[in-house]
Structure 1
Amino acid sequence: HVKKFIATHYVMEASNSAWNQQQSFYAAGNKDEGNPYDSKNSLTEEEKANTEKQTIRGKYLSVVIAKNLSMDINQFNKYNPGFDAKLSAQGEYDLLLPADKMQQFLANKYQILNECVNSILGDEPLPPAKTTYPKAGRKKSP
């Protein structure tokens, strides 16, 4: 029982426990952002009429998509509120973009995904994916 008590004490009472960090977060005057699943996009009727939807799966990042589509990140977030949180939690997301930007996204989808993954991995470019085979040698006849 002593080990369990010590472990419980460490988790509940330690200055670096998650509970104490959360309390200090709120004590500093920070506000909770709320449930990211409750966020709805606030598009006008004209913007809604000019949008296309595409379900995407993968490790996409909103800033990389916005950069590749030459969109302002605030405009991207207006069309896709809570993009990063929802995509990482659910594994898929219904991406909304203006029609011209959606065509650009679909044309460069794999390059954007590759850049997103490289960004997650630490901005180190991956080596080219190619298979190297040994040179064919001639068989000697007996």
Structure 2
Amino acid sequence: MAIMSFAFLLMTYNAAAQINTTVADTTILETETVKDSLPLNDLKSGFKNLFQTAMLGDGINPGKLNPMAVSFVQDYIKKNEKGFKEMKKWAAPYFNMMDEVLSAHGIPKELKYLAVIESGLRYNAISWAGAVGPWAFMPAAARQYGLSISRHNDERLDYYKSTHAAARFLTDLYVRYGDWLLVVAAYNCGPGNVSKAIKKCGSTDFWKLQYYLPDESMNHVKKFIGTHYIFEGEGGVTTLTKEELKDAALTTNINLSKDELKESKVLKISGRYYAAVIAKHILMSEKEFNRYNPGFNSEIAISGSYELRLPESKMNLFNNNKTIILKESIDQLLATGS
């Protein structure tokens, strides 16, 4: 597979390069030169739209940026705008690989921005606490999620393998909390600290319990939100609390017209189906499929079932090919190491 060849090249590069033992500073400053810049949308003019409803590619309507994040995110974007413009170009191969791996594990591909704020996407980054690699794994967590660490080889430095490990870790955290903002916080400070904050606060709402978290972790979540806005130009499922996401989901059907709703069918399905495979077999674009079925890969990976909605003709195609679709979905997930 092409992705495996990419992984091999990365491993070869990692082995040949000397590890940088300098403590990582993951802030991308305007004065930091990396690669040629790639134009993005005008972030400053775009910020006026943060309070406006935006439609995501996965069909989720994200609503508004939480007012408690606005000031921090504004300052963060101002500080990091130029550096992230540069990163968007040179990091494209890394982001493409991460998109494929995270999607294969059934979690939002936007979680790749965790690696941006953890390490600046530097494979040899080392944090002040001793976390290593693009996904900033501590030794115990790395071994728990399948990475080998020895004097001669540290798989935390391998982009491909560490992304799979991060995806498994993030999935476990989501199963535990069911809230992506809490997942981001727990990835930074550990689930123990998040659970303590929930107990002290008496709430699972990040915006209420944030003050019971370490300052670094509280700001880590806001950095993640800011990074998401810089790269995506809007929020998404990973920048909302569980309750905010429920509110957004209630408005999802405004993506479909009355005629589309009337002419569509709903079927509850179980099994490890994969959105791209379904879309291919029913002759539908993946974007259009996600408009009818927001958050499909994440929900079916976590809960094992999903209420599939499709136009009647497409539902007929699905029913006629569902055995083949399921097998191909599983084969693709296995091939990508999910």
State the TM bucket, normalised to the shorter chain: 0.5 to 0.7
Q: Which has the higher strand share?
A: 1
Amino acid at match of 1:98: P
Q: 1:30 aligns with which of 216, 228, 235?
A: 228
Partner SS, residue 121 of structure 1: helix
Unaligned ranges ≥5, structure 2: 1-127, 138-186, 189-215, 230-234
- Map residues 24-103 of structure 1 onto 2, 5 A cutoff: 26=224, 29-31=227-229, 33=236, 34=240, 35=242, 38-39=248-249, 40-41=252-253, 42-103=255-316
Closer, same or farther: CA 14–75 of 1 in aligned 2, 3 Å: same
Amino acid at match of 2:289: F
Identity %: 29
Amino acid at match of 1:103: N
Partner SS, residue 81 of structure 1: coil
Matches of 1:75 and 1:13, distance apart in 2: 44
Deviations 1:20-65 (A, max 9, x none): 8993962872246335654324210000010001100000010110
Which residue matches 2:326? 113
Structure 1 position 13 matched with structure 2 position 129: yes
Partner SS, residue 266 of structure 2: strand
Aligned length: 112
Deviations 1:69-118 (A, max 9, x none): 11011110110011111111211100000000001100101000000000
Matches of 2:225 and 2:328, distance apart in 1: 38
Unaligned ranges ≥5, structure 1: 1-11, 124-142
Closer, same or farther: CA 45–61 of 1 in aligned 2, 3 Å: same
Q: Which has the higher helix share?
A: 2
Partner SS, residue 119 of structure 1: helix
Question: TM-score, normalization: structure 2?
Answer: 0.30
Name the Cα RMSD after superposition. Answer: 2.7
Amino acid at match of 1:13: A
Partner SS, residue 114 of structure 1: helix
Moved more, 27-36 or 61-70: 27-36
Amino acid at match of 2:220: Q
Partner SS, residue 13 of structure 1: coil
